[in-house]
Structure 1
Amino acid sequence: MFNAIPEGSSSSQDSEYDQLIGQTDEHINVDDQSSSHTSSPQSKTKKTEGIKWKRHTFDSIDLPESTLKPIPYFVNLSRKTPLDVFEYFMDITLLLKIATESNKYKDQKGYQIPDISEEEIQKFIVVLVYMSIIRLPRRRMYWSKSTKQTIISSVFTRNRFEEILLILHFNDNQNEPSKTDISYDRLFKIRPLINHFNRKFQSAVVPEEINSINEKIIPHKGSSSLKRYLSSKPHKWGYKIYSRTGKSSYLYQFEIEGDNQTTTVHPDVGAASNVVIRLTQNIPPNSFVCYDNYFATMKLMKFLHDKQYHVISTIRVNRFNSSLLKSDKKLKQEGKGSFDFQTADDDHFVITK
């Protein structure tokens, strides 16, 4: 099922609606439209495969009974304390990878400092977590006499902490392709982390029934070609993340905008819709997929329906034939609580306003 809520329409559509209103239970052949990510009515659109819509009343929609759980639960942990969960995601494989690449970078640069061990990497990460909670204006204040944080100073000397910070690496710089190479990866330096956490997030739990695809911002004010601006977010500048989360807010999968290693799975639905397709490739049939109008097109809805997913979404008025539904003016005249809808494909698709 697809539920689209168009964000406004023009009053010039009233006469078109008057022509349609008498066609109860008759099919209406509509050309689907897709567009760029702007909501401007002047955006150029491209006609696609038609959908036959009809106006009639239905009592309910029968959905196959789902075997999925309403909330996720861990399957690879015998105990589920916060420390157990932390050690599952930050496992020995990842710690060894970070230690190996950091020591390799140290040798490449010729730094005369001791090698880093996996245990030191684990402690270093814990210290970073603590620093993100107990914030001080300057890093060295955690070791200063008047502001010393014993939890940190008892684990690392200031010099050793800064040595680790200096050489911390996650991938081998010598293997990085040049910018002119076809295999150049803008996220090469953190690619092992992205792959590791996406794999761990999905393997740790049995997936839940309801999934949400959304955009998030990791705040960052420094200089980076990957930095983006989102006016609708509390933190407007930073790294833009596309994520799939569950109703429980558990993060299953993510990708970073600007990642030139992502693949176009379905070339006909647009870049934003391909984000949804990539992030839902590993979810089981009969799952619910929710996303907003940034991603939504009618082609994406049909693609996900064919994959046996139930879709709930808003959609922009320039991405479908908005003359199907009553205009804002007509709904306002009908009073508070008024709405309009159409169905298609034996009520598998529903569009409402």
Structure 2
Amino acid sequence: MPPTNSCEVLTDEDSGDEDVVDVNNLPAAQLRAEAELFAHNSDNEWEDEDKIPLSELRKGLLSKRHYDEIKKKTYKWEKFDIKNARLETEWPNFVLPSNNLSPIQLFENFFEKEIIDMFVFYTNNYAASKNKRSDITPEEIKVFFGILLLSGYVSVPRRRMFWENSSDCHNNIVSNSMSRNRFEHILSNIHCCDNNNLDKNDRFAKVRPFFDKINSRFLDFAPIDEFHCVDEAMVPYFGRHGCKQFIRGKPLRYGYKLWVGASAIGYINWYEPYQGAKSEIKDCYKNLGLVPSVVLEYTDVLRSKLQLP
């Protein structure tokens, strides 16, 4: 056995030259320390579970986890020729709407009366529940949306600057259309659904009725196109929300991620917000994963538009 203190007062240093690596130069505290023995049992049977080394248990856990990951990602591929659907599909005759419309007419095509009335009803309902004025009209909702669209093109540090008297920020169109207090009253009460009947599994439940209706309007005026694309799109948002995403390397790194199905000319036919693990997937596509299910759901949307089987 080594001496109790071969290094005198310096018990953490070697007893010999540091350049010479020898077991006889190690201090007694290190030589007498407890060590773990790694042994392999061919039968993989131990007399007592408490005597199994941690390394063996860890190895078993890692192998099981690795096996589960491989098992989840295993797919059974079938080899067959893809039929050319373009040659077999008979396109129905569609009468597309004219595109020679004014900006107001284009706006009303998508924000139809049903959507405007939905916002009016639920906004007044929410304002009444908070003991506020509930006399918002459909015309005011249209003006409210118009100001929001204008603010996306005419950017100011604060939205209230549209109503200031300074010539460098005052906007006559906004100030003459609606007062500042009225705009902020609608902004603080705007709703499109009943808060008492929300789907707890849907993180976008408060705007889901609007998403469904606007997707339907997209399809009503969608041009017939042979080539389509499904990709993700970012809506910039820097506030707090459980679905806000951060994607490194993107021009818009913070915001909401949307799955968007569009035609070759850039027209949006359908979109679905990304909710992470809670993203809605049809039962028939759940075994395929998230990304394939998004593509297949978009094909279902196009088939319903074209009335294809």
Length-normalised TM-score, structure 2: 0.67
Q: Secondary structure at the match of 1:145?
A: coil
1:108 aligns with one of 126, 129, 148: 129
Question: Which structure features the higher share of helix residues?
Answer: 2
RMSD (CA atoms)? 2.9
What one-letter code is carried by the residue in structure 1 that aligns with 2:213?
A: H
* Aligned partner of 2:248 among 213, 231, 239: 231
Q: Relative contact order: is structure 1 or structure 2 higher (C-alpha 8 Å, sep ≥ 6)?
A: 1
Q: Which has the higher strand share?
A: 1
Flag structure 2 segments of 5+ consecutive residues without an equivalent. 1-68
Secondary structure of the 1:242 match is strand
On the 8 A contact 2:281/2:290 being kept in 1, the answer is no
Q: After the TM superposition, which residues 41-190 of structure 1 pair with which residues of structure 2 at under 5 Å, given as runs?
A: 44=70, 46-52=73-79, 64=87, 75-76=96-97, 79-111=100-132, 113-146=133-166, 147-177=169-199, 179=200, 184-190=201-207
User: Shift in Å at residue 87 of structure 1?
Assistant: 0.6
| Cα deviation 1:240-278 (Å, max 9, x = unaligned) | 100100001000000001164442432332121111111
1:66 and 1:269 mapped to 2: Cα distance? 26
CA–CA separation in structure 2 for the residues paired with 1:68 and 1:208: 11
- The equivalent of 2:285 in structure 1 is 266
Give the Cα–Cα distance (whole angstroms) in 2 for the partners of residues 114 and 215 of structure 1.
Answer: 38
Deviations 1:32-51 (A, max 9, x none): xxxxxxxxxxx736443344
Alpha carbons of 1:174 and 1:208: their partners in 2 closer, same or farther (altered >3 Å)? same
Aligned to 1:276: 295
Shift of 1:75: 2.1
Q: Flag as ranges the 4+ runs of structure 1 deviating above 6 A.
A: none
Which deviates more from structure 2 when the two are superposed, residues 76-85 or residues 265-274?
76-85
Contact 2:122 / 2:193 at 8 angstroms: preserved in 1?
yes
The 1:221–1:277 alpha-carbon spacing in structure 2 relative to 1, beyond 3 Å, is same
C-alpha change, 1:51 and 1:231, in structure 2 (3 Å) is same
Secondary structure in structure 1 of the residue aligned to 2:286: coil
Deviation at 1:65, TM superposition (A): 6.9
What secondary structure does 1:174 align onto? coil
Gaps in structure 1 of 5+ consecutive residues: 1-42, 55-60, 288-306, 309-353
* Contact 2:127–2:134 under 8 Å retained in 1: no
Equivalent residues, number: 231
TM-score by length of 1: 0.59
> Cα–Cα, structure 1 residues 171 and 114, in superposed 2: closer, same or farther, change >3 Å?
closer
Bigger radius of gyration: 2
